[in-house]
Copies of this chain bind each other. A is one copy, B any other.
Amino acid sequence: MKRKPGIGIVGAGRIGRVHAETIAFRLPEAELRAIADVNRQSAAEVAARCGIPRVAADAGEIFASPDIDAVLICSSTDTHASLVTRAAGAGKHIFCEKPVDHSLARIDHALDAVRKAGVKLQVGFNRRFDANFARVRQAVASGEIGTPHMIHIISRDPAPPPVSYVKVSGGIFLDMTIHDFDMARFLIGSEVEEVYTAAGVMVDPAIGEAGDLDTAIVVLRFQNGVIGTIDNSRQAVYGYDQRVEVFGSAGSIATANNYPNQAVISTARQVRRDLPLHFFMDRYTESFANELRAFVEAIVEDKPTPVNGTDGRAPVVMGLAARKSHDERRPVKLAEIG
């Protein structure tokens, strides 16, 4: 692609705004051309802040614009699959927030449209682009810790979302663990073939009344023999807790949390430091920018995107299997799901 790719954004909520700012202020290699949102006021505000020349009436107007080469789909999850399908039909490259959908049938339909259109698709698993997790992947891929044997992913939110959100979230496994399912596949570089879930409602009974869980351990068995766990909680009172450890034949690599500063205070009562970064936007600022940089680079240099449709689908299968395992209190093979 000779000229700068023109970008359109569908969805001007929190994550849409983050991506708009990244492209406006940190990615001179691409150019924002239009934004749309069901709440036009939101779209207008983001446009003003980020210098986006056009507020489109709807996604359709964006897909129909010839000066737009790629779209970022940042709307609510239930709209992702159909917007991917339509964007693909319009020949646009697509960056779609996670998850693509809660239904495998709809995901498959959308991926099929992408394949037929020959456009690029990247799914928003931003954490792969975080410096800590990228370093772990590098250690595993380079053999720095030998052959991997076990993996542990800790992924705890500072506070649960509102119950109203929980009800439409698809459940903890599709809403929260999905990032960790992707992380597991990314770090180990092998597919998971079986999961087993031990979970409960420990943070807020209202989450249980909504049919969901708030605390979970998911055991993973990978095709290459690696075994592992994911630990999720909807509420770590000390902040956003995001760590991994991979243990192998030649050693281990483990990551700690990120902190707002490196100060240690010693007093008559304790040796302490400030809490780790609390908000995912602060914790993952750079990874959000990096994933868009990679997307734009894939377009400009016509290379595969680093997180493709398969990567979008697999964690949904894992999420469905994890829930089934919980419901049936037994290990569930992914092959049972689809």
Q: A266 interface residue, CB < 8 Å from B?
A: yes
Are B238 and A266 in contact, with the CB atoms below 8 A? yes
Selected from B202, B237, B253, B264, the residue in CB contact (under 8 A) with A254 is B264
Nearest Cβ in chain B — how far from A78, in angstroms?
Answer: 31
Instruction: Give chain B residues whose Cβ lies under 8 Å from the Cβ of A2.
Output: none
Q: Contacts of A147 on B, CB cut-off 8 Å?
A: 202
Contact status B263-A255, CB under 8 Å: yes
* Option from B136, B202, B231, B260 in Cβ contact (under 8 Å) with A263: B136
A314 at the interface (CB under 8 A from B): no
Query: Contact at B264–A253, with CB atoms within 8 Å?
Result: yes
A331 at the interface (CB under 8 A from B): yes
Q: Mark A236-258, 1 if CB is under 8 A from B, else 0.
A: 11100100000101111111111
Task: State the Cβ distance, A269 to closest chain B Cβ, in Å.
Answer: 8
Question: Contacts of A14 on B, CB cut-off 8 Å?
Answer: none
- Whether A26 is near chain B, meaning CB under 8 Å from some CB there, is yes
**Alpha-carbon gap, A134 to B269, bound state (A):** 19
The answer to whether A217 touches B228 (Cβ under 8 A) is yes
Provide the bound-state CA to CA distance between A249 and B152, in Å: 21
User: Beyond A215-B227, A228-B217, is A262–B257 a contact (Cβ under 8 Å)?
Assistant: yes
A13 CA / B273 CA spacing, docked (Å): 38
CB atoms of A219 and B198 under 8 A apart: yes
**Are A266 and B249 neighbours in the complex by a CB distance under 8 Å?**
no
Chain B residues whose CB sits within 8 angstroms of the CB of A258 once the complex forms: 262
Shortest distance in angstroms between A136's beta carbon and chain B's nearest beta carbon?
A: 6
Residues 259-274 of A, flagged 1 when their CB comes within 8 A of B and 0 if not, give 0111111111111111
